[in-house]
Structure 1
Amino acid sequence: MNASNQAHLTIQGCGYRIENDRVIISIQRIANDRDEGNLSGTLQLQLCAFHQGIGDLEKIVLASTIIGEMKGQHFLSDCYYDLFFQPPQVGSWQLALQLSEWNGVDYTLCDSAYFDTAYQVEAPSNPSVPAMQVDELENEKAASTPKIATEHPTVKKPKEVKKNATGYADGYLAINKSKVDKLLKVKGVPKKVLEKLIAERPFQSEKAVLNIKGMGPVMMEKILAELTK
């Protein structure tokens, strides 16, 4: 349902679909019904939410995009906008799509399309979790994910270094004493890494060798195997 329009800038056939943190907005027609010589100000689309049942008319912007200017007697058809979606707080909300025009100072509302079906945001099902915005819960979940992901691979790396150290107790000394041409002939190791090794010598420990950019336990084992033949 569209509100009465006095600016002759209209939106028709509006819909939306929310997918996680994105919302796809569809509009059949965005039109400038003014005289042909007219050029509108910059147009803005906003998906807004109004809290139901408390008499609060203050809107919350959930998604927004800029369309640009439009000539009089022109229109855009079959428009689709894939936008970032910021959900509202827990509660029941009426959503509306609003078209506004820049007047040189601020955006003024030109047309609105209200959606009849209320948008519900439920409180967390876990009673031990305090009620908060749904997006805050998602942010916490997302923030914790990298911690879980990094626990597995990084903890076991030093053990591989230890294995190399057992096989070549003085491996770093072999690198220190090796001739340049012999180091550069090691196969399976990038030449840039070998050149960096040569430039950074002498090393005080195998750990210092492994700190070289591009160097890892496997590459170090290849180098030491070649040098100790």
Structure 2
Amino acid sequence: MELQLQKPTQLASGIRLEGTPSITMGFGRVQLDMPAIMNNRAEGNISGTLRIELWDLDAPYSGGDFNGEPLAGFTVGTLTSGYCYPACEYDLINLTFSNQAERPVVMLREWNGASYDTVAFCEIADRTEKVAAPVKKAAPVARTETPKTEQPKAKATPKTAPKAKAEAKSVAKKSAKKKGSIELISINDASVADVAELKGVSEKLAAAIVAGRPYTSPNELLRVKGMGVKLLTRIKDSIKL
């Protein structure tokens, strides 16, 4: 819900974060305490679709392109000039299912008609990690020993076992050889038809992937509507930049 600013201030950046975010990670989820989002652009200037993304980056960030691992993200919508989205707490799915992040950064990104631009960001210094509750060990169960006279005899290994193992090994080699001959699909250059050949990717999703170019890492496909962690994991070995 948008709230109107009492005294909007015209800033060069236009859209900014008012405050400092913090996160709590663990149990497959991320709790994000998000500061207010301000639109201080000129009157009548409505933003493009805004999206909040939480990343664990490989290096300190000062703007522009980046590399890292996505932790969570969600779309907040457009924002009218002179209005803001107030500070809120969000309970999000942790895309990495990890309770650790070396360099978490919150990025506010805006759709420009072809891709998302980072219009504001903030490194997170205040973060906590939840520790899983200890698992109680089950009480030991008394063992009942079987009299030696009733113990079943071990079955002899069939003589054909070595042959079966050899055949299985041969099939595995052929499969590995076949897999190595598959040509990787370029998510930055391939056509919609070629992207749609990826297992689990529909023509509609392929068109959205092509429209969202360019990508600097396969993980950026998670910002495309319809692409989830499971599907990205499934196709990751079949794609390239």
Q: TM-score, normalised by structure 2?
A: 0.42
The answer to which structure has the higher helix fraction is 1
Structure number with the bigger relative contact order (C-alpha 8 A, sep ≥ 6) is 2
Structure ID, larger Rg: 1
Q: TM-score, normalised by structure 1?
A: 0.44
